[in-house]
Amino acid sequence: MDFLSIKGIDKKVSKLAIGNDNQPDYERAAPVWDHWIETGANVFDNSYVYKDGLSEKVLGQWIKKRNNSDDLVIIAKGAHTPDCFPNKIKEQLEISMERMHVSKVDIYIMHRDNLDIPESEFVDSLNEVIELGYTNVIGVSNWSLDRFHKADTWAKKSNKHGLDILNNNLSLAKMIKPLWPGCITANDPKILNYLRENQKIHLAWSSQARGFFLKDEIINHNEKVLNEYDDSGPLRYFDCEENRTRKKRAQDLAHKYDVEPHHIAAAWVLNQDFPSLAIIGPRKISETSNSLKCLDLKLDKDEISWLNLETD
């Protein structure tokens, strides 16, 4: 496992986080989480809205039984639309902590933005949960670069705790339409340059483009299954000529390193020249084991640029 050090967290932070939006059942989730810890990983990504709170409750059941909260890095998210208001941050975080049987979370992230609210009001509410001892690290998800920069600048000028983390979609395949309303991609030259220049931490969701880099026959099968209950398959949101070229380059590099293209795509996220973490969503132990192969890949700057079509 690869790790980052994050100011305010006295534990090493694994560069891969396990997303808990797909684990509503304790008996199925517990072995996956036990295995996650056995790999050396320790980051758990959660949200107030996942499964209407059931995902947090199931994780809390596991934490209580294992008595291992001190060993984990817990991410909590809240203030999702339509509840994206400053007064919802503290209120929802307290509920999330109760669900998860923890008195503090390592990282708190706003799940959405509300353009009708000044950035300063959100910064004030985020600082409130720090002052209450609920967290030491704050961030925002699906915020534009302009809003993120303004909020962080205002915080510093006002002697407030600034934004530590940006949690947008970041994948080698650039999101061509929002997966859900209000979603924003960080695979944008201005955002990537800002992260590099300021060495801001980025936490990527859908870091493997929801399976876009898998073999076509697997994608086509998955799309048929998804069509029965969902519309979040990769083709609707990532399939375009530029992304097909990115996929072809990932396939070529995968052949060179004797891995699969989705390992190259995940390594592209983790090997950026700014602190970069990625959320993955394995439902089974076998999926976790497969995903971890990306950690063996150390892509250089030339490969990072070439994969993202920045060079020929």
- Least confident range from 101-110, 135-144, 225-234: namely 225-234
Per-residue model confidence (pLDDT) at position 140: 98
- Asked if residue 227 has pLDDT above 80, the reply is no
Give the β-pairing of 3-4 and 43-45. Answer: unpaired
pLDDT digits (tens, 9 = 90+) for 297-310: 999 999 999 999 99
Average pLDDT, the chain: 93
- Asked if residue 294 has pLDDT above 70, the reply is yes
Residue ranges per structural domain of the chain: 3-212+262-299
- Asked if residue 225 has pLDDT above 60, the reply is no
- Asked if residue 44 has pLDDT above 60, the reply is yes
Residues 6+ apart with CB under 8 A from 204: 167, 168, 169, 170, 171, 186, 269, 276, 277, 278, 279
Per-residue model confidence (pLDDT) at position 216: 72
Per-residue model confidence (pLDDT) at position 293: 93
| Fold of domain 3-212+262-299 | TIM Barrel (3.20.20)
pLDDT digits (tens, 9 = 90+) for 94-125: 999 999 999 999 999 999 999 999 999 999 99
- Least confident range from 19-33, 53-67, 141-155, 156-170: namely 19-33
Token digits of residue 64? 């209580």
Chain centre distance of CA 46: 10
- Asked if residue 8 has pLDDT above 70, the reply is yes
User: Residue 107 forms beta bridges with which residues?
Assistant: 75, 137
pLDDT digits (tens, 9 = 90+) for 241-252: 999 999 999 999
**What mean pLDDT comes out for the span 23-38?**
93
pLDDT digits (tens, 9 = 90+) for 58-94: 999 999 999 999 999 999 999 999 999 999 999 999 9
Per-residue model confidence (pLDDT) at position 229: 41
pLDDT digits (tens, 9 = 90+) for 153-207: 999 999 999 999 999 999 999 999 999 999 999 999 999 999 999 999 999 999 9
Per-residue model confidence (pLDDT) at position 236: 84
Residues 6+ apart with CB under 8 A from 118: none
Instruction: Output phi, psi for 32, to 5 deg.
Output: -65, -45
pLDDT digits (tens, 9 = 90+) for 274-284: 999 999 988 88
Q: Which of 300, 291, 249 is nearest to 271 (CA)?
A: 300
